C-alpha cells in the first residue's frame, strides 16, 4: 500500500491510499476556498450527563448535488473537486463542514454566560471523509476484496493516528447509506469522527461489560458472540475469522452485528488474516440486505472500537449494521417511545429477520 498525504487549498489534510507504489498524486488543489470554520460548541446536558455538539456552520453543507457536481468524484478539467487527482483508489480528507475540528473557539465558557446549568467547551476533535471508490454509482457491496482491504487499511491508519492525537478520547468509523438515512452526498463514502469525549453508547456498554465481568469473570462481548454461535438460529453467515448475526434484542427491523472471533480492542489490533477475511463476509451481508426487499437498503454501518484511554481490556471491536426499512415501501421512524424515552419497539422478530437474510441469494 502507498500512502500519500497532501493539503487542500484551505489547509485541510488529504491522504491517498493506493494499491500501486507508482501512483502519481502530485495534483494540486487550485480552488479559491473560504476560510475553515471556527470550532463547534460542546454543551453539557446535566439531565442526561451527555455532551451535545452545536455546529451552526454545518447548515450550509453541500446537499444532494447532481452526479455531475459531486465533490467526492475525482477532479476533471474545468471541474475541480475535493480530490485534486484525476483518479484515486481510496481517499481520506478532513471534512469541510466538521462537527469537531481544531479551529478557533469563541463561544462563552461558563454556565452563567450560557444560561442554565450547561457547561460549554470547544468542540475540538477531527472529522474525516473516507471515499471508498472513485466510481460514483458504485456501493460498498460491489467493492472487490482487494478494495475492501484497502479501505480497512485506511480505517486502521486513521484509527491509529487519531487515537494518538492529544485530546481525542474515541475514534468512530462509520457509513451512512441511502437517502432515507439522510445522506447529503450519494457517492460511496463513510466518515470518521474523533471525539473529545467517550460517547454515551460506549459508556453504557462498557458499564454493562464491567458488571458482567464482576458477576461472571468473562468478557460480555465474547460471551454474547459465543452464545449466538452456539444457538445458531440468528447467525446470518460466518467464516474462519468473523461471524455475522442478528442480536436477540435487535432494536431495528434489520440489524446485523459482525464480530471477529478474537477479542481485539480496535481495528489496529486485527491481524492480516482477519483484515483480509472481513471483506468477503461483509459485502455478502450487504448484498443480502439489498436482496431482502429487492431495493437498495438504507443503512448505518458503525464500527464500535475501544476508547483511547479507558475500558480497553473490556472492549471488543465489532461492527453494527442496521436499517430503518421494515418492509417494501415502509420505514421505521423513531417516534414517541424511541425518540422521547429511548425505549425501542421492533416490529420484526429477530429470528425471522435472520432467517430471511439467510434465504437471500447473493451470487
Q: Tell me which residues are annotated as active site.
A: 189
H/E run at residue 216:
helix 200-216
Q: What gap in Å lies between CA 265 and CA 91, rounded to an integer?
A: 25
Residue 306 half-sphere exposure toward CB, CA atoms < 13 A: 19
As a whole number of Å, the end-to-end CA separation of the chain is: 29
Query: Is there a contact between 137 and 73 (Cβ–Cβ < 8 Å)?
Result: no
Grid coordinates representing 113? Answer: 454566560
Binding residues for Zn(2+): 70, 73, 136, 187
Query: Is there a contact between 244 and 285 (Cβ–Cβ < 8 Å)?
Result: yes
Q: Nearest CA to 258 among 316, 209, 192?
A: 316
The rounded radius of gyration (Å) of the Cα atoms in the chain is: 21
Please state, in angstroms and as integers, the Cα–Cα distance from residue 342 to each residue in 176, 251, 336, 337, 338, following that order: 21, 11, 9, 6, 4
Query: Is there a contact between 257 and 327 (Cβ–Cβ < 8 Å)?
Result: no
Amino acid at each position: 500500500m502507498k500512502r500519500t498525504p497532501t493539503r487542500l487549498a484551505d489547509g485541510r489534510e488529504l491522504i491517498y491510499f493506493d494499491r500501486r507504489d507508482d501512483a502519481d498524486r502530485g495534483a494540486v488543489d487550485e480552488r479559491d476556498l473560504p476560510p475553515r470554520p471556527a470550532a463547534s460548541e460542546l454543551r453539557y446536558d446535566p439531565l442526561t450527563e451527555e455532551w451535545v455538539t452545536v455546529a451552526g456552520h454545518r447548515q450550509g453543507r453541500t446537499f444532494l448535488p447532481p452526479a455531475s457536481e459531486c465533490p467526492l468524484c475525482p477532479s476533471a478539467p474545468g471541474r475541480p473537486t475535493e480530490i485534486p487527482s484525476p483518479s484515486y483508489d481510496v481517499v481520506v480528507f478532513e471534512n469541510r463542514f466538521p462537527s469537531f475540528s481544531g479551529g478557533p473557539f469563541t463561544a462563552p465558557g461558563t454556565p452563567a454566560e450560557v444560561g442554565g446549568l450547561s457547561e460549554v467547551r470547544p468542540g475540538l476533535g477531527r472529522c474525516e471523509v473516507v471515499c471508498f471508490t472513485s466510481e460514483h454509482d458504485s456501493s460498498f457491496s460491489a467493492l472487490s476484496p482487494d478494495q475492501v482491504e484497502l479501505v480497512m487499511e485506511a480505517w486502521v491508519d486513521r484509527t491509529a493516528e487519531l487515537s494518538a492525537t492529544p485530546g481525542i478520547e474515541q475514534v468512530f468509523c462509520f457509513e451512512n447509506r441511502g437517502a432515507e438515512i439522510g445522506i447529503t452526498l450519494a457517492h460511496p463514502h463513510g466518515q470518521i469522527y474523533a471525539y473529545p469525549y467517550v460517547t454515551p453508547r460506549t459508556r453504557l456498554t462498557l458499564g454493562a461489560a464491567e458488571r458482567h465481568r464482576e458477576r461472571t469473570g468473562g468478557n460480555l462481548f465474547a460471551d454474547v458472540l459465543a452464545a449466538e454461535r452456539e444457538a445458531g438460529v440468528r447467525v446470518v453467515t460466518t467464516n474462519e475469522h468473523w461471524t455475522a448475526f442478528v442480536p436477540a434484542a435487535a432494536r431495528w427491523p434489520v440489524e446485523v452485528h459482525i464480530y471477529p472471533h478474537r477479542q481485539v480492542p480496535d481495528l489496529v489490533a486485527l491481524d492480516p488474516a482477519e483484515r483480509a477475511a472481513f471483506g468477503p463476509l461483509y459485502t455478502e451481508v450487504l448484498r443480502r440486505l439489498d436482496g431482502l426487499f429487492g431495493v437498495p437498503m438504507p443503512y448505518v454501518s458503525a464500527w464500535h472500537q475501544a476508547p483511547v484511554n479507558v475500558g480497553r481490556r473490556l472492549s471488543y471491536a465489532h461492527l453494527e449494521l442496521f436499517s430503518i426499512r421494515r418492509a417494501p415501501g415502509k420505514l421505521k421512524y423513531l417516534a414517541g417511545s424511541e425518540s422521547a424515552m429511548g425505549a425501542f419497539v421492533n416490529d420484526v422478530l429477530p429470528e425471522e429477520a435472520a432467517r430471511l437474510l439467510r434465504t437471500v441469494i447473493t451470487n
